[in-house]
A and B are shown apart, each in its own frame.
Chain A
Amino acid sequence: MLCDVCKCNDATVFLTQILEGKMQKVNLCDACSKEKGVQDPTGFALADLLLGIGAAEEIEKGAPTQRCPVCGFTQADFKKTGRLGCSSCYVTFGEGLNTLLKAMHKGTEHVGKLPQRAHRAVELNDRMRTLTENLQKAVAEENYETAASLRDQIKQLEHELAS
């Protein structure tokens, strides 16, 4: 099992914490557990750790006060309420949330019901994937005529996806 923070070393520290009746789990490698101060369990909260991961990454990116462009929600608001601001927050705070969701749920991907609208989007995305693969192949084979045609089709599809 890989470390939830660096995602490259094997996890050796497994933490389980029950917060407000909800179980949260996180797996860390030796180096990351030291860095996060997990060796000292006093005053250590798993939620802080999980949210801290996202925050640390943002600071590196030079965006310490990340704000959802749609609703203006910040990470501090999430820390306070445990709820998100709008559906776009899942994109804005994606990385930090993924770790949280992984610890919370059975899987990391939805496998259930699809809204009718999403059916169409899935089809378009599948087509997009095939076109992109074909384009790469065409370029690799120096088949520029096909590549140009594929590029036009991708542009057209991008337009459809955006609408």
Chain B
Amino acid sequence: MKFSNVMSTAGEWLRGEGPHHQIVISSRVRFARNLRNRAFPGWAKKAERTAILDLIRPRVEELPEMQDSFSELLQDLSALEKQVLVERHLISREHAAKGVGSAVVMNRRQTLSIMINEEDHLRMQSIRSGLQLKQAFKLVDKVDSALESKLEFAYDQRLGYLTACPTNVGTGMRASAMLHLPGLVLSELINQVIQAVSKIGLAVRGLYGEGTEAMGNLFQISNQTTLGEKEDEIVGRLTKVIETIIGKEHDARQVLIQKKSNTLWDQIGRAYGVLTYAHAMSSKEALNLLSIIKLGVDLGAFPEDRRLPIDELFIDTQPAHLQKTSQQKLNAEERDHLRAQIIRERLKLFPKPDISKIMRESGNGATARPSNNE
């Protein structure tokens, strides 16, 4: 499979059909694995790194899950192509910085992506739409078991799977979900939620993981520790916490509709106005405004069939996607113009927000569509 195929088909998780997909954008589970007694990628010399890559890559490519896969050496991808993969969460920002001796292999549906010689020899990730951590875990677990029969992984009886960074030792597993929480942000409850979550050993991060800003009201929540807890316990605990946050987000939205409706309509109206008429827009502004429109769709202010075009814009307006689509390298100013232009075109046939529709639904109280038991 070529890069153009990756580019032209959106990953399955982007189509957003999983459980709780209004609030949970995606679920991801990744395992870190290393070969026994071989230097970790960050410490290995170029020759050893390449030798390790040559050992691992064919084993990964021959997996049944990887039939008709996209498999590429990092040095053969352009900076822009790497960035596109980062924007789709198929490789990490760290991996995008790699060159000789590293590779990425992913399946056609873009639900399974395996990074070779990232920080660890193997980083295997499954990504699914909505809240499907258990399903994502099952796939990675299966792939891990298949690879383990052919490669000898570094494993210690007491410490479990050994990783380059001691923070990943044990299960080597990081499970995370991307949540869209505009209700909690608008009602200024988000910091409470973040604090509560960090107290129980889970981490909250921005859009692209560690050290990134929260944009577009998007938050990543993941397990912080990997030693001393079983994989399925971690996945179960995380799922429960996310279900609680989903409930809180729905409650916050209901309170906004009932008590701060003017603020809410003003936000939706402004977002619609700016997105429809602006001629220059940064990716941060675009994400923040699109988030409000997405909330508008959730609440019924826009018809349900407008959900997909908005979800697509979240990705298509990211810097690398923008440049890849326009087939040229653009400076920041040109990108902002192009971004605004694409958004205007896609929103051309978008109906005006119909606030009366939300009013009526919230008036019915218990029958309001975004209920806690989605």
User: Footprint of B on A, CB under 8 Å?
Assistant: 20-22, 70-71, 73, 77, 81-88, 90, 97, 100-101, 104-118, 121-122, 125
Contacts and interface: CB of A to CB of B under 8 A. Distances in A.
A121 B157 contact: yes
A118 B149 CA distance: 11
A107 B227 contact: yes
A99 to B, nearest CB: 11
A22 B198 CA distance: 11
B45 to A, nearest CB: 10
B209 to A, nearest CB: 11
Contacts, number: 118
Contact of A101 (B38, B159, B161, B210): B159
A114 B171 CA distance: 9
A42 to B, nearest CB: 26
A106 B157 contact: no
B148 A117 contact: yes
A113 B173 CA distance: 10
Interface string B138-158: 000100110011001111111
Interface in B196-242: 201, 210-211, 225-231
A86 B154 CA distance: 9
Query: Is the interface on chain B under 10, 10 to 19, 20 to 34, or 35 or more residues?
Result: 35 or more
A20 B230 CA distance: 26
A109 B227 contact: yes
B14 interface: no
17 contacts: A22-B167, A84-B40, A84-B43, A86-B39, A106-B201, A108-B227, A109-B227, A110-B228, A111-B228, A112-B170, A112-B229, A112-B231, A113-B144, A113-B171, A115-B153, A116-B145, A122-B157
Contacts of A20: 211
Nearest to A86: B39
A83 B119 contact: yes
Contact of B39 (A85, A117, A121): A85
Nearest to A118: B155
B230 A115 contact: no
Contacts of A83: 40, 42-43, 119, 164-165
